[in-house]
Amino acid sequence: MTSRPDDKQPANSKPTDSAEEQDKRGAKEAEPTDDLVTTRHAITVDGRQLAYTVTSGRMVLRLEGHTDEKFEGQQAKAEVFVTAYTADTADTADAGDAGSRPVTFAFNGGPGSSSVWLHLGLLGPRRVVMGDVGGLLPPPYGLADNPQTLLRHSDLVFIDPVSTGYSRAVKGEKSGDFHGYGADIESVGEVIRLWTTRNGRWMSPKYLCGESYGTTRAAGLARYLQERYGLYLNGLMLVSAVLDFGTAEFNGGNDDPYVMYLPTYAAVAHYHGKHGDRPLSDVLAEAVAYAEGDYPRALARGSRLTADERTAAAARLAGLTGLSADYVDRVNLRPEHIRFLTELLRDRRLVVGRIDGRFTGWDTDYGREQWSSDPSIDAIVGPYTAALNHYVRAELEYSSDLPYEILTDRVHPWSFKEFENSYVFVQDKLAAAMRANPHMRVHVDCGYHDLATPYYAAEHSFAHLQIPAELAANIDYSYYEAGHMMYLHEPSRLAQAEELASFVQR
């Protein structure tokens, strides 16, 4: 075919890219990149100014690819939202090389929780103002400086696991690939390695602070970071710890949770006036003594209990829990925790909070076996959500049209394939990490009114760590007259902040 003169291209023109080449170029242009934003701030602490830098945004998580034993490079898999606080050390008491300053990596649990609770409730330089039981503030709540921030003594990196906060799998990847015990450990561990490497912090003392399922994650990470990257930690701060799910899963044939929850039942009953003017310490001592001896024996005997023994056990449990002896007998001496929370104040037409047994709320009716929602969760979600959404845009200058997932169900089903046919159990991971690194210390914070991760179950788990006796001194505890998030209670928050500050300074 002969071309017409006006069909010809100039001699120096470039041929048009093929559709395939355009697609490749478009794919390359769409490759996700970090969208970190840096801002600078200051806070007054003990009459002195603490200046600090905040870097917030999404880090692209890339995983190595191997096909037929060939290295295929790194492929973007997820974008993980982090908020990192680094103090300007010239303005702090520990002035010197910033690289030698401690750094704490913090996260909450769920699974499905963002890091907002530790971030704006306890550790960060800004905190939620929402009031407490009996004095909750109305919307839009408040945000204030936190002079007790751990930033006084340690830099802070808050991590939102994939599908929480602003963290998401990248386009075309499966979110479910990150929703499980092992995958979560690997992805959070990679974020820690990346941040440590990019910021020159391998020679800094390093700590993990986890809450709730975050303590499960932290225990697993302590060993994983050692084995995978040779990254050894100086310590773990475990807030409301759960290392053995067998102590908290009310399943048929498992009597452990009933025993482990008993002291917390007694504490919550005490808070709501079921023990008169007895000191809480006396009530707890009695409950622990029964939980360590006669109660597990009574449960183990089952139908072999005599009528008199069963009557005595029901009466003893009723006295401790604030429930009626008739109710305790009807539930076979085994009050499950949500049923307990529904039953305890039924006569007052109130239900009790699981996350924090100090909170109460209303329900649709009072013949129910289980409440329709947790009044302690209802009390805190609004204030923390409002504060976070305002804070990241107005103060940290990070913008996203994605919803910040404070506490999401989108991570479920969560895979525990590593524990098939068994309870989730990470005591062995923590023990192995401590044996390999005898300098690693562990601080455990417990709330007496926490019915999500009861304090007596935590004590039980740590008492059964397979570590030599000389390492037992590496573990210490603090107790608070509050719940799962003990920092909701102002006296507890102040005390807890000082305990954590002391821990990272040792």
Q: Which amino acid is at 361?
A: G
Q: What is the mean pLDDT of residues 67-82?
A: 86
* 29 has pLDDT over 80: no
User: Which structural domain range is residue 299 located in?
Assistant: 265-333
* 482 within some domain: yes
* 98 has pLDDT over 80: no
Q: Which amino acid is at 234?
A: N
Judgement on whether residues 286 and 218 belong to the same structural domain of the protein: no
Average model confidence (pLDDT) for the chain? 93
Judgement on whether residues 42 and 171 belong to the same structural domain of the protein: yes
Residue 16 — pLDDT band, cuts 50, 70, 90? low
Cβ-count burial of 212 within 10 angstroms (0-12 exposed, 13-18 middle, 19+ buried)? Answer: buried
Q: What is the mean pLDDT of residues 81-98?
A: 73
Q: Are strands 360-361 and 206-212 parallel, antiparallel or unpaired?
A: unpaired
3-state secondary structure (DSSP) of residue 291? helix
Judgement on whether residues 53 and 126 belong to the same structural domain of the protein: yes
Judgement on whether residues 283 and 219 belong to the same structural domain of the protein: no
Residue 43 — pLDDT band, cuts 50, 70, 90? very high
CATH number at residue 421: 3.40.50.1820
Could you tell me which of 289, 274, 352, 279 has the C-alpha nearest to residue 319?
274
Provide the CB-side half-sphere exposure for 20 (13 A, CA).
0
pTM here is: 0.91
Cβ atoms of 451 and 337 within 8 Å: the answer is: yes
Judgement on whether residues 169 and 40 belong to the same structural domain of the protein: yes
Residue 26 — pLDDT band, cuts 50, 70, 90? low
* 218 within some domain: yes
Residue 31 — pLDDT band, cuts 50, 70, 90? confident
Judgement on whether residues 199 and 321 belong to the same structural domain of the protein: no
Judgement on whether residues 479 and 405 belong to the same structural domain of the protein: yes
Looking at residue 4, its pLDDT comes to 38
Judgement on whether residues 209 and 147 belong to the same structural domain of the protein: yes
Element (H, E) at 45: strand 37-45
* Dist. CA 363–CA 374, nearest whole Å: 10
Judgement on whether residues 293 and 219 belong to the same structural domain of the protein: no
- ∠ CA(456), CA(460), CA(462), 5° rounding? 115
* 13 within some domain: no
Judgement on whether residues 301 and 446 belong to the same structural domain of the protein: no
* Dist. CA 266–CA 50, nearest whole Å: 43
Residue 503 — pLDDT band, cuts 50, 70, 90? very high
Tens digit of each residue's pLDDT (9 = 90 or more) over 216-263: 999 999 999 999 999 999 999 999 999 999 999 998 889 999 999 999
Beta strands (DSSP E) in 402-497 are 441-447, 475-480
Looking at residue 90, its pLDDT comes to 55
Judgement on whether residues 51 and 86 belong to the same structural domain of the protein: yes
* 433 within some domain: yes
The number of distinct structural domains making up the chain is 2
* 447 has pLDDT over 50: yes
Tens digit of each residue's pLDDT (9 = 90 or more) over 386-404: 999 999 999 999 999 999 9
Looking at residue 71, its pLDDT comes to 79
